[in-house]
Chain A
């Protein structure tokens, strides 16, 4: 989920080369997670990675380290609370807490990943771009934990029960679908895959928009039985805003 970054590393000798290729990809159309940095090559925005203004790798490394540490905090909290009882332990219903925590953080990280491009474009903090792949992979990581909780703690590996769950309950169908759609994105997140897939990589990674919508639907329908939309409404707004921004940006460029 970090194409240009990867592309840049693939050709470190000529820092301007990946920008060209990214620009070529950008002309192909996608307005996305995959091509956020490619639009850095637009005439309207600064070119952060251009030759002559090399980003100190120290700053990038610090950013990535910070993101890595912060993104592990929710898991650390669960593990510590579960094993030692700190932070009030895992409460009366640990499985429920683990399910909700991992699901929520998957969605939060997905939203943060989707926010990288708009924030970068609005603030000019182009260095953020360098943390996007890691953020996307952490979203997948928490989604995988959420999925594992369902498979293991909730259904105890009972395949029939899981199949019935996916078929009978629309909110589970959506959750399952969101996770399945994330798998190819995570699997193609390596530099080698970015290079190998070329333009198709960014097309593939536009799936992340579908994942965001499906994930919110999953959460929404989970809450629908109790008509308790207070929290999920915030996520729906965030995703609408993040996707709406892209739509607007695209329309503006088309004009």
Chain B
């Protein structure tokens, strides 16, 4: 069911962001001017990689009318097992992560394999603000204003070959920086993967910030994926390697519990997880205790954009 489009990677660049937005010279000029006024261009200041440093971003497509989850909840209620399995572990322990210096190796079935320095990655394409729903496989959800650019921008630079059918994302696995690696909950490093057409989809975001600022460590600094129509665990954090392959990869959760976590893991209220129903969800910070859970939407509400990727597929079998 793969939509073969190795050459189709290039056209996406113009599709993803409305031209008007990223060629909005006025605000770009303003951003640079504002940065210059403070002694350095904004992207240069962002290079410090310090969480909280402002990022020069423009409003992106797919605007959302929903209320964003508070910065506090987004940055203190996390699943990032490299720092512990409790929700508050990442916020408590991720200070040991060093987001600079950082490189991301892009390799495998590509014509131009390369190792990108993180600061080079930050400048590869204009940064956009993208407000996405985030649905965790555990039955809760958030609305998060991310900062990043479509992964397709990177794909266009490295030129996947005709053999590239899938993309793997490797999270850093350094026990000196990540105390959670001592635990054997998962096989490290954490690996997630997408089909090439999923990776090239305009919604798929290479993410470097949230709330207009550099990503806090616990949210996957300095660079992570965000794939909003899939359960949260599909979006790898603190990525050090992106590899293009021909065969469907074995991802971390899929290996740990194949009956519970499928390769696709698209948000789907009709396919329940062995340990909880996926029909409803609780929006963090919004849905009170004495409030009925809200219904979960097919593809997390992004059906209009992504349903076409799975046309003709049995989504119950390919969960």
Contact = CB atoms under 8 A, between A and B. Distances in A.
Interface of A: 82, 90-96, 98, 153-154, 156, 161, 164-165, 168-169, 171, 221-222, 224-228, 230
Given A93-B284, A156-B293, A161 B140 contact: no
A165 B277 contact: yes
Contact of A227 (B77, B185, B272, B276): B185
B54 to A, nearest CB: 25
B275 interface: yes
B77 A228 contact: no
A207 B256 CA distance: 35
B77 A93 contact: yes
B59 interface: no
Given A93-B282, A156-B292, A161-B277, A230 B77 contact: no
Q: State the majority secondary structure of interface residues on B.
A: loop
Contact of B289 (A94, A168, A224, A228): A94
A103 to B, nearest CB: 14
Q: State the majority secondary structure of interface residues on A.
A: helix
A227 B186 contact: yes
A227 B293 CA distance: 27
B257 to A, nearest CB: 5
11 contacts: A90-B289, A91-B77, A93-B77, A95-B282, A95-B289, A154-B293, A161-B279, A171-B275, A225-B273, A225-B275, A227-B256
B87 A93 contact: yes
Contacts of A96: 140
Given A94-B289, A171-B275, A230 B183 contact: yes
A26 to B, nearest CB: 43
Contact of A226 (B73, B185, B272, B279): B185
A165 to B, nearest CB: 7
B182 to A, nearest CB: 11
Residue among A93, A96, A168, A169 with the most chain B CB within 10 A? Answer: A93
B161 interface: no
Contact of A92 (B77, B279, B288, B289): B77
A154 B256 CA distance: 27
Given A168-B272, A168-B274, A225-B273, 19 more contacts: A91-B87, A92-B73, A92-B87, A92-B284, A92-B285, A93-B282, A95-B289, A154-B293, A161-B277, A161-B279, A164-B277, A165-B277, A169-B276, A171-B275, A226-B185, A227-B184, A227-B185, A228-B85, A228-B185
Contacts of B289: 82, 90, 94-95, 98, 153
Contacts of A227: 184-186, 256-257
A91 B293 CA distance: 17
Nearest to B79: A226
Interface string B51-79: 00000000000000000000001001100
A230 B85 contact: yes
Contacts of A224: 257
Contacts of B119: none
Contacts of A154: 293
Contacts of B288: 94
B26 to A, nearest CB: 38
Contacts of B246: none
B260 interface: yes
B85 A226 contact: yes
A26 B266 CA distance: 59
B275 A92 contact: no
Nearest to B142: A92
A227 B275 CA distance: 13
Interface string B244-257: 00000000000011
A47 B16 CA distance: 82
A165 B140 CA distance: 17
Closest 5 CB pairs of A and B: A92-B77, A92-B73, A156-B292, A228-B85, A94-B289
Contacts of B282: 93, 95
B283 to A, nearest CB: 10
B140 A93 contact: yes
Contacts of B293: 154, 156
Given A92-B77, A95-B282, A228-B85, A222 B275 contact: yes
